[in-house]
Amino acid sequence: MLFADIDYLTSDFEIAHGYVEVTDGRISYVGETDPTGSEPISTERYDGSGKLLLPGLYNAHAHAPMTLLRGYAENLSLHDWLNTRVFPFEDKIDDKKAYPATMLAIAEMLRFGIVSFSDMYFFSDARAQAVIDSGIKANICHGLLSFDPSVPYQQLPNKAIDDHLITTYHNTCDERLKIELCIHAEYTTSPLVVEAVGQAAVDHGVSTHIHLSESRSEHEECKQRHGGKSPAQYFESLGFFRQPCTAAHCVWTEPQDWQIFVRNQVTVACCPASNMKLASGFAPVPQMFAAGVNVALGTDGMASNNSHNMFRDLYLLALLYKGSSGDPTVVTPAQALAAATINGAHAQRRVDCGAIKVGNRADLVVLDANVPWMQPAISQLNNLAFSAQGSDVALTMVDGKVLYRDGLWPTIDVERVARETSEATRDIIASL
């Protein structure tokens, strides 16, 4: 496909105008002039008039099957939300219910320009199959909770599941699907297991994914349990950060934690909508950017956000820190867009993704910029952060394949997966 005569976001987060060509799943040309000249071409020529081409968005922290819980667990603190609503509901989910729920989540993500997501949950064969069938990219890990401090990782069901996932799926589908190892959080896992999972990640050469310092109580109680160590210090002391890690939330982290993140290749997956909904607070994103932390952007699950529309999260990331800090200069549009794109690709260890440049994989999103809220186009960079809507997405492409275009999903029967997910939710609620 040749995106012709189109505005596009450069790797330097500037708006340029020209032509972007896709050949065999990769970006083969970026420039001001038409690479085909006057010659007819066999590939599709996409008219870029009134359009804006972006690198695809990366959802750095999600729980895809939790579409089943959309609208179910509301107006509760994190502790009550988990223990009175989420955990009892999750006990009723199985692979049969998780597959359509994951497909529905993927359809929603593609609709809003997400080309890849990092997913922590259970029912991992079902989630992996949904990724395979849909054509999206994903890094998935199987949730691990272990409350008995005497039981080692090798005796947990997770050990066999993790080995199976890595052997069966890691770097399959031309590396669209990657497997990571998981620790749910400090307060749900024993030190013995944390050490062993960290070592397993080293042995397999895979990344890790955790929840970290999401709430003030989690952060402070960790210090009480572990001799004053914050969750970040605790995980580092156990060798968990020897492989690149995505740490979700990080709301209550401190300056010494940010240095740990920098020296250990830990990406912070900021989830502003989820953190506000659960009243967890505001992650110190401006300070983490200043410290050199790789900050990416996540939606979290649908019980704590309700939407995979990352343009809403992008808007929040670009706006709320100005208000909360009293400094209108913090978190620039370029920083927010980096968090939603290239920083997420970096977190997933996808070195040839996340930016529009020759040789990169063709993970691209077309926005309709010919809408009232994107005009006038004094600065489309500012408009992307503060004006663009997820509904502006006209096309989402992954590895050169169009997975969403103008209301159609060629790889997903959206009506069917929506119906099956709704039926599963009703059945679960009736059984509680």
The answer to whether the CB of 283 falls within 8 A of the CB of 291 is no
Per residue in 223-249, pLDDT (tens digit) is 999 999 999 999 999 999 999 999 999
Reported pTM? 0.97
Report how far residue 232's alpha carbon sits from residue 212's, in angstroms, rounded to the nearest whole number: 7
pLDDT tens digits for range 27-46 = 999 999 999 876 777 789 99
Distance CA 55, CA 296 (A): 14
**Rounded to whole angstroms, how far apart are CA atoms 293 and 297?**
13
Neighbours of 180 (CB within 10 A): 28
CATH fold of 57-347 reads: TIM Barrel (3.20.20)
**Tokens 């310092």 -> residue:** 213
Tell me if domain 2-55+355-405 and domain 57-347 are identical in fold.
Answer: no
Q: How is the chain split into domains, by residue range? A: 2-55+355-405, 57-347
CATH architecture for the domain at 2-55+355-405: Roll (2.30)
Tokens of 305: 């956000």
% of the chain at pLDDT higher than 90: 94
- Report DSSP letters for 328-357, one per residue: TTSS-HHHHHHHHTHHHHHHTT-TT-SS--
Question: Own/partner pairs for 428-432, CB < 8 Å, 24+ apart?
Answer: 428/68, 428/89, 428/92, 428/93, 428/97, 429/72, 429/89, 431/92, 432/88, 432/89, 432/92
Phi, psi of 4 (to 5 degrees): -110, 135
In sequence order, which residues have a C-beta less than 8 Å from that of residue 90 and are 6 or more positions away?
122
Report residue 406's pLDDT band, with 50, 70 and 90 as the boundaries. Answer: very high
Residues with Cβ within 8 Å of 153's Cβ and at least 6 positions away in sequence, in order, are 146, 159, 192, 193, 196, 197, 200
> Phi and psi at residue 182, in whole multiples of 5°?
-125, 140
Largest CA distance in the chain: 72
Mean pLDDT of 105-120: 98
pLDDT tens profile 265-280 = 999 999 999 999 999 9
**Plot region of 279 (φ>0 → left; ψ -120 to 50 → alpha; else → beta):** left
Mean pLDDT, the chain, rounded, equals 96
Q: How far apart are CA 174 and CA 177, in angstroms?
A: 8
The model's confidence at residue 419, banded by pLDDT at 50, 70 and 90, is very high
Q: What phi-psi label fits residue 92: left (phi over 0), alpha (psi between -120 and 50 degrees) or beta?
A: alpha
Tokens 């509301």 belong to: 74
Which range, of 34-43, 44-53, 313-322, averages the lowest pLDDT?
Answer: 34-43
